[in-house]
Amino acid sequence: MTAIRKKLEVIPAIDLLGGRIVRLFQGDFDQVTRYTSDPVELAKRYADSGVRRLHVVDLDGAKTGKPTNLPIIESLSALGLEIQAGGGVRNLARLKALFDAGVARGVIGSVAVENRDEVASWMAKVGAGKIIPAVDVRLTEDYEPELLTRGWQAGSGQWLWPLVDYYLARGATEFLCTDIARDGTLQGPNLALYETCATRFPQAEFIASGGVGNLADLQALDRTGIARVVTGKALLDGRLTLEEIERFSRDA
């Protein structure tokens, strides 16, 4: 019997800088859009609308390595949402601090590329399903996805597919995949990239990130076969409504 694929799940994103909600354009700290919404009040609205999971990025942690937004993350977790959070997670102690704040899954970026054996050891200690490798890619002229690190400033010389193979073999189940050229642009996600991810690794659950600008983008992503998508700016700017994303709830 053929398994029935679950529909796409939308995960709202909240990026925190100095305790406030912001969005960066293509990860650039010099291109910041600041929002007046209180992060806990916004997350409560998401929860009340049926959202089950929230994506949180501690941009202060990503920039300085200091987890200054942990108290807010703890307040977000108290709302009953499943929090997946990252930003500057460079050691096991930092990861455990997120878990102590109520985070369900830690999102690991640069270290997952640069020191994969260390991250594999974290998986063995805390549970592979509690870690989401974040794979940020830049497509070459040959359409090969190169992995970027250090705030997307450094090319790693490594490629997406072998990294996914490595972590799948060690029990990983989810991957957050961002095409950095699309991030914060609202110009549509890279559908071909995500369709390739879903087709090449049917045993994995990919979370798309970057470029979502409207409901049509979500409908197109749903047809690629990926499991989930993170969207922040489109919701914050009112290009997507809570009513529109309700249909993508796993309980709908």
Cβ–Cβ under 8 Å, residues 16 and 176: no
* Interval 171-226: pLDDT, tens: 999 999 999 888 878 899 999 999 999 999 999 999 999 999 999 999 999 999 99
Helices 39-48 and 70-77: angle between axes, nearest 10 degrees: 20
pLDDT at 249: 63
Sort strands 9-17 and 53-58 into parallel, antiparallel or unpaired: parallel
Instruction: Note whether residue 1 is domain-resident.
Output: no
Is there a domain that residue 252 lies in?
A: no
Known active-site residue 15: yes
20-25 and 9-17 strand pairing: antiparallel
Segments forming the whole domain that contains residue 152:
9-246
The pLDDT, as a whole number, for residue 155 is: 61
Residue 179 forms part of a structural domain: yes
pLDDT of residue 5: 54
Answer whether residue 77 is part of any domain: yes
Look at residue 137 and tell me if it is in a domain.
yes
How many other β-carbons are positioned within 10 Å of the β-carbon of residue 116?
A: 18
Domain count, the chain: 1
Give the three-class secondary structure for 111: helix
**Do the domain assignments include residue 3?**
no
Q: What is the CATH number of the domain that holds 118?
A: 3.20.20.70
For residue 62, pLDDT over 90 is answered with no
Q: Which of 58, 60, 136, 179 is catalytic?
A: 136
One-letter amino acid of 8: L
142 is catalytic: no
